Structure 1
Amino acid sequence: MKKKNNSKRSPVNKTEITSKNNSFYIVGLGASAGGLEALEKFFGNMNEKSGMAFIVVSHLDPNHISIMPELIQKSTRMKIFNAKDGMKVEPNNVYVAPANRDLAILHGTIQLIEPPEAHGFRLPIDYFFKSLSVDLGEKAICIILSGMASDGTAGLKAVKSELGMVMVQDPKSAKFDGMPSSAIKTGLADFILRPEEMPAQLINFTSQKVKGVLLNTAITDGKIPDAFQKIFILLRTRTGHDFSFYKQNTLYRRVERRMNVAQLDSLPNYIRMLQENPAEIENLFKELLIGVTNFFRDPESFDRLKKLLMNLVKSKPEKSQIRMWVPGCSTGEEAYSIAIILKECINETKKNFDVQIFATDIDSDAIDKARNGSYSGIESDVSRERLKFFFTSSGSHYLIRKEIREMLVFAPQSIIKDPPFTKLDLIACRNLLIYFNSELQKKIIPLFHYSLLPSGILFLGSSETISGYVDLFSIIDKKWKFYKRRDSVYSAQPFIEFPVSRAIEKTYETDMKKNEIINIPQLAEKIILQNYTPNCVIVSEHGDILYIHGETGKYLELSDGEAKMNILEMAREGLQQELTAMIRKVKSGKKLLSAEGIRVKTNGRSQLINLTVKPVKEPAVMQG
């Protein structure tokens, strides 16, 4: 017998089942200078019965009583409220935040927080958007309107990471384009529109009903549905990355969000769009990589890290090497945070070291942003002292100082298919493993053990674990997930099983025209399939690696110093001399060469391998 629902709100329908606390969308609007005009145009075109609630946060003088509610009321028939502590947010109403309080939301109820410094620097829009993202999840929508500086930029990242929607005013229509331009630079805006155009798009987005994605019974049995197999193939062909190892629920929710944005109601229609519109494949790729990243996330964990790094610095000999790796570094905030902490330890001990921090990600655009080291809206995450010593500022933008940037090497790299860095003092892999399924996690943890020096430190996210590998790591800090590499006779593994791309069962034949220009991953997979090669590396004539297939960690290893993806420099002991000679002979003779019984040293043990070097007769970009 079903219980009667006495709630005054409408019952949650199938497409709303994943919302956190509300069955309706809450729209947060952030505005500053020039924002009143934008708000009037927005509400003047918004249906009074949209089913959404609206919360307006702006930069107001805390010493003056705001008349913004009265001004907005002239443009809409919806009820306008001055936001008050404990007020329940209801649909078809507008709530305006007061000037002298930060506004948060908890279980759909407004909470007003007195700022630490009443007249100090504040980012009220960021503060609210972050709270909105946690409370509403995918039912959160944030809109950034006219304003100077960059308030709202950090907050929109949080909204997007929780599968919410982001809308930004077209800078051309804004009186002051600082806030909209800063938001657009993140690459996370779903829609860039004039204020009067936003209501119609909001209605389309919130009324869109996606069918047969999350609630498809075929998904819950652990098997990957054929429709998602096709999406994985399209992603892999376009980007070179296999997402079939990622957690299924995460993938399905992000695909569903993209379908909502595209206003498509079925997977077959979305697959057709991916096939016809390569730009949407890129959009989906970016969507799958979105995660929360900011400077010194979980400050207490970085306080603990500083103590551990101080011990490391004190124990290391003067002018020795310190090597670290930050996989899944995104746009670099966490990697720079670690570099700053390490620099503080080095300065305090007055010692000198050769520091190498490798920060990697599969998103090349994110890597480019990280290399630039330019950020905005970070004042709430970085102390004034650190902003002064480790950044240079220009308005609301901050640039990492050269002495910190020179400690890091940013590079595109896949933790799933590329060789790992080795001889490391620290690996900081926070909030990446949570996106991988258990099968892949069980391969990554031993890989980290292999990459670390004895007593090296592994730093994971607060909701991540070592997946039962207690023989490989001991716990340093249970709360903040610091582990120390353990040397154990029971954990000695001669060969690490490096993760590889899963073979998709269905074969799709592609006719290659003689003069067709194709990308390297497509060509590489064609060559591999033609020759049924279990493990191989495709290189240029100079030995530069173009593509890796299979478990190559037994044969290749990144060396100390500057990261170079060259097979001759990465070849393990016993392989380098033979490989160099064979590549040289194949280049001159243009014929296949094979050698058997080559002894290669791996992890202190030797193995015998068979090696084949074959010339590739394909477009010039691949010849070698």
Structure 2
Amino acid sequence: MGTSDAPGVPPEHLLVDDSPTREGSPRHVVAIGASAGGLEALEGFFDHAPVDTGMAFVVIQHLSPDYKSLMVELLSRHTRMRVLRAEHGMPLEPDSIYLIPPKNNLTIRGGCLQLTEQVAHSGIQLPIDLFFRSLASEYGDRAVGVILSGTGSDGARGVRAVKEAGGLVAVQDEAQARFDGMPRSAIATGLVDLVLPVEQLPAELVNQLELRAASPPPPAGPALETDDAVLRQMFDILSQHAGIDFSLYKPATVTRRLDRRMSANRVERFAEYVRLLERSPQERDALYRELLIGVTQFFRDPAAFEVLQARVVPEIFAAAPAGETVRVWAPACSTGEEAYSLAVLLREYCDANQIRCHVKIFATDVDREAVAFAAAGVYPAASAALVAPDRLARYFTPTSGGYQVGRSIREMVVFAYQNLVKDPPFTRMSLVVCRNLLIYLQPVLQRKALALLTYSLRPGGFLFLGASENPGHLGHQFQTVDTRWKVYRAIQSGRGSLTDILALSRAPSTGPPATRAPRLTGDDVLLDRVHQELVRALEQTCFVVDADYRLLHSYGNTADVLTVPPGRATLDLLRMVPAELGSAIRTAVLRAAKDGQETAQPVTLGDGAPRAARLRVRQLPPVPDQDALFLVLLEPAGGPSGAPAGGGDGDADRFRHLEAELQQTRENLQATIEELETANEELQATNEEMVAANEELQSTNEELQSVNEELQTVNAEYQQKIDELTQLSDDVDNLLRVTEVGILFVDEGLRIRKFTPAVSRVLNVIPEDIGRPLDHLSSVVPGLDLAGRARAVLAGGDAEAVEVQGPDGKHLRVRFLPYLADGRLRGVVVYLLDVTADRRRELRTVEILNSHPAHVAVLDRAGTILMVNRAWEQFARENGDPDLTRTGAGTNYLTACGRGADPDATAARAGILGVLDRRLPDFYLEYQCHTPGRRQWFMMRVFPTAEPPAGAIVWHLDITERREAEERLATGRPNSSEPTGGPE
């Protein structure tokens, strides 16, 4: 049974943020917790997640601090949303994914992410719980928690925080999860709204959030507007499931929780939801958990605790009898923060006043999960932040992502399961703290709870209620200590009967009526009378009892043997007979049960006029499916009145013998008791050592589990990277296999690493040569020093190239390039390209040019002659350049044209420059080039070559015959002008 977070305010309205979202902020924030095996689940989630939901996603994983996380790169391949590694102060934006970095815990405040470095060796890390709690506090009902594959229980406590704030919780189906520890722990809380395969989670989350946004606020009590029989059926289902009757809870409390569950299951009619409860154990547990959501915190309402510290605690210790334990009861303790707060308060007072007094706080709740969590005493940093720094340092121990209550405080508190309104209360309490529970109960149940709380107090004890609660009809039994914070002191009178209190609010049974005892027939009555007369005639008293000495039937005159003891009615025969006779009956029954034979011994009956009798006990024949029964007979004994039967020296000796045996037995028993006490002390000390060792082992186990989860995450990331690298390697291998280019890779030691099939056609290399030094290869290409040139590249880092011709006549262009990895020289790449076809094309081109009568030269962009044909060479030799030093290949033709002041040469130079600079599409010039022995005319043509490279083709054609023919036609005689120089 939980408590709310503010006086008189239902907890589901405490943390809900109804303020509009800030401009540019996400509509909802989805926190995704994953651990071992979570990479595959995350990829499946974002493969199916829409990219325009307006939500922000924050992924919290257990990451190893020793390895670099690759999650940003890996998840980016599975979504078009932005994937970012979280940074301190980074604001959340819609349609973005934020990933927790290693070595950090992540929280959120003011819409911005907050990073805090994890403390090394501080216990198990719980980053998912930490962020979920922070998210719930910041975003309220706009928070969404998702738990995916992982080991351990991280996230289970955070799920509770999200639900308390009114958020939505979804979990991957544990049957699908690679590691089902985290999903199973989250589902076990009973607070999960959706349990689905990871592929279906994104769409269903969007649907649920849209339904919430579209649904109007529920009217007061729609879930109760139904048939009372159906409502009673729902309460009966919950009672059978959890042992708690919610029918006397306030309707508004039940209605709010019912509406939430019906909305989560998309059920509109209440009767349909009840049918869902009948067939779904998971939904029964979910509704039960929903009704028990408890919100509490350390030192809630500090002013109230100041009242306790100043006006209550001193009175408690002042009134405590010397050597007696101070007892405090905190019913409905939820997750235990308030109980530990009381313990700290009492411990501080004892330490400050040097009081040596044993204090025991009993903290109880009907929520077993909450009790277990409270007993562990581990709380996240967000919860511990409400504790004053000096108290935090003194009474708490830092752990991963939170704090653990110190051992001295934990030993003061005993946590236990208890139903306040059903189970008997604790008693002799100096203080009872029960805040904000009564406001959820109907008046009849409130009266019973108040009566139980009052009954538990000792005279002068204190009762601390919530700010909206009061003792009600029991107010006359209390004195008010503080009106605002509802602190009361009990007076001595007016304490009721516990039996009457427990009978309060007892609902009429809904089951079948109790079975009545069958009526006796006439024969049965007659037979019973005959039995009674026979026993009376024999002057015997007879009892039938079970193994617990409970009287089942009696015969004969029992008036002088049986009496009704004062107090509560009982059928215990040992309490109804005199003490001496009861002791004899006990011994005789035990002996008969042990030996299976009848026992007999003399006894004395009566006080004023004792008479001798004989006690006989035997076990009745066993009956199937019935406990053992014993017949106890008291029959008169012969001899003088007041003496046992057979009373003589023999009996006296027997009595003395029995007394001696009894004395010896007592001494043996005393020795045994002392030995047992010593052994018990030793066992207690051993048990404490074992408990301490167990705690250390548990802590070590949790740390190892956390490390295992981190390594699982790293392994998953690396496995993904290995798969990608394997695929990339296959791609490269296939590329090298199909290419016709020969490529040879060698490492820094000139050992062969890899080569393409084309290399084996040029060099003597086979697959078995991988790993061998390059020097071991016997090249079939003369003059090709592979190892020497590779060493030169390794030494200088510059590429080298050479063109060689093999023995088969093929031309090879071999390039030696540096092999770079991480920006460093790691080897050499030998690139072999067969250029035989290119060389043959060049030869054909040269042959064509040589066959042409024109003088042809090819120029580059700077005007340098790249090649000339045979006609050009012959003309140059005949005209003063026998070695082609001025107009041969490798010389600059523009320089040759610029020699002298011949206008034709100057025009030729300008035209060539115009074509090279692409200012002219081409150039044409006719000029004279007379020799002493002959007059000649030439036509010069310049054409640009295709880019790249930019250049030009220059050819000179002898047009002497044409010009002479033109002159003859023009003058009728041969031309006799003197020859002049020309461009060549």
Classify the TM-score, shorter chain: 0.5 to 0.7
Seen in structure 2, the aligned counterparts of structure 1 residues 313 and 467 have a Cα distance that, compared at 3 Å, is closer
Aligned to 1:322: 326
TM-score by length of 1: 0.61
Contact map agreement 1:375 1:397 (CA 8 A) in 2? no
Query: Matches of residues 36-185 of structure 1 in structure 2 within 5 Å?
Result: 38-50=41-53, 52-56=55-59, 72=75, 74-78=77-81, 103-104=107-108, 110-111=111-112, 126=129, 128-134=131-137, 137-145=140-148, 152-168=155-171
The residue identity in structure 1 corresponding to 2:362 is F
Query: Matches of residues 269-284 of structure 1 in structure 2 within 5 Å?
Result: 269-284=272-287
Q: What is the distance in 2 between the residues matched to 1:203 and 1:267?
A: 25
The residue identity in structure 2 corresponding to 1:287 is E
Q: 1:483, CA displacement in angstroms?
A: 0.5
Contact map agreement 1:210 1:259 (CA 8 A) in 2? no
Q: What is the distance in 2 between the residues matched to 1:370 and 1:60?
A: 25
Seen in structure 2, the aligned counterparts of structure 1 residues 184 and 223 have a Cα distance that, compared at 3 Å, is closer
Q: What is the distance in 1 between the residues matched to 2:135 and 2:489?
A: 39
Contact map agreement 2:463 2:490 (CA 8 A) in 1? no
* 1:426 has 2:426 as partner: no
Q: How many residues matched?
A: 507
* 1:527 has 2:532 as partner: no
Seen in structure 2, the aligned counterparts of structure 1 residues 231 and 295 have a Cα distance that, compared at 3 Å, is same
Partner SS state of residue 420, structure 1: coil
Query: Matches of residues 357-376 of structure 1 in structure 2 within 5 Å?
Result: 357-364=361-368, 366-367=370-371, 369=372, 373-376=375-378
Partner SS state of residue 294, structure 2: coil
Aligned to 2:846: none
Contact map agreement 1:19 1:139 (CA 8 A) in 2? yes
Identity rate, percent: 36
- Structural RMSD (CA): 5.6
The residue identity in structure 2 corresponding to 1:235 is L
Q: What is the distance in 2 between the residues matched to 1:328 and 1:543?
A: 39
Q: Deviations over 1:558-613 (max 9, x none)?
A: xxxxxxxxxxxxxxxxx98343534659999xxxxxxxxxxxxxxxxxxxxxxxxx
Gap regions ≥5 residues in structure 1:
1-17, 511-525, 531-539, 545-574, 589-618
Partner SS state of residue 285, structure 1: helix
Seen in structure 2, the aligned counterparts of structure 1 residues 178 and 399 have a Cα distance that, compared at 3 Å, is farther
* 1:458 has 2:463 as partner: yes
Between structure 1 and structure 2, the one with the greater Rg is: 2
Query: Matches of residues 107-506 of structure 1 in structure 2 within 5 Å?
Result: 110-111=111-112, 126=129, 128-134=131-137, 137-145=140-148, 152-168=155-171, 188-190=191-193, 195-203=198-206, 205-206=208-209, 215=218, 219=222, 226-293=229-296, 305-306=308-309, 308-309=312-313, 312-313=316-317, 316-364=320-368, 366-367=370-371, 369=372, 373-382=375-384, 407-438=412-443, 440-441=445-446, 443-445=448-450, 447-461=452-466, 464-466=468-470, 472-476=478-482, 478=484, 481=485, 483-485=487-489, 487=491, 500-501=504-505, 503=507
Contact map agreement 2:223 2:258 (CA 8 A) in 1? no
Partner SS state of residue 156, structure 1: helix
Q: What is the distance in 1 between the residues matched to 2:139 and 2:272?
A: 28
Partner SS state of residue 247, structure 2: coil
Aligned to 1:579: 568
Seen in structure 2, the aligned counterparts of structure 1 residues 370 and 306 have a Cα distance that, compared at 3 Å, is farther
Aligned to 1:571: none
Seen in structure 2, the aligned counterparts of structure 1 residues 444 and 283 have a Cα distance that, compared at 3 Å, is same
Seen in structure 2, the aligned counterparts of structure 1 residues 263 and 217 have a Cα distance that, compared at 3 Å, is closer
Q: 1:345, CA displacement in angstroms?
A: 3.6
Q: 1:264, CA displacement in angstroms?
A: 3.5
TM-score by length of 2: 0.42
Partner SS state of residue 320, structure 1: coil
The residue identity in structure 2 corresponding to 1:527 is A
Contact map agreement 2:107 2:135 (CA 8 A) in 1? no
Higher helix share: 2
Contact map agreement 1:211 1:266 (CA 8 A) in 2? no
Q: What is the distance in 2 between the residues matched to 1:542 and 1:279?
A: 42
Q: What is the distance in 2 between the residues matched to 1:325 and 1:541?
A: 38
Q: What is the distance in 1 between the residues matched to 2:251 and 2:218?
A: 13
The residue identity in structure 2 corresponding to 1:361 is D
Q: 1:138, CA displacement in angstroms?
A: 4.5
Seen in structure 2, the aligned counterparts of structure 1 residues 96 and 587 have a Cα distance that, compared at 3 Å, is farther
Q: 1:482, CA displacement in angstroms?
A: 5.4
Q: What is the distance in 1 between the residues matched to 2:107 and 2:405?
A: 31
Q: 1:327, CA displacement in angstroms?
A: 1.0
The residue identity in structure 2 corresponding to 1:254 is R
Partner SS state of residue 566, structure 2: helix
Gap regions ≥5 residues in structure 2:
1-15, 22-26, 518-545, 551-563, 578-624, 630-984
Q: What is the distance in 1 between the residues matched to 2:294 and 2:323?
A: 36
Q: Deviations over 1:154-203 (max 9, x none)?
A: 43222122343333457898899987677567564455666545324424
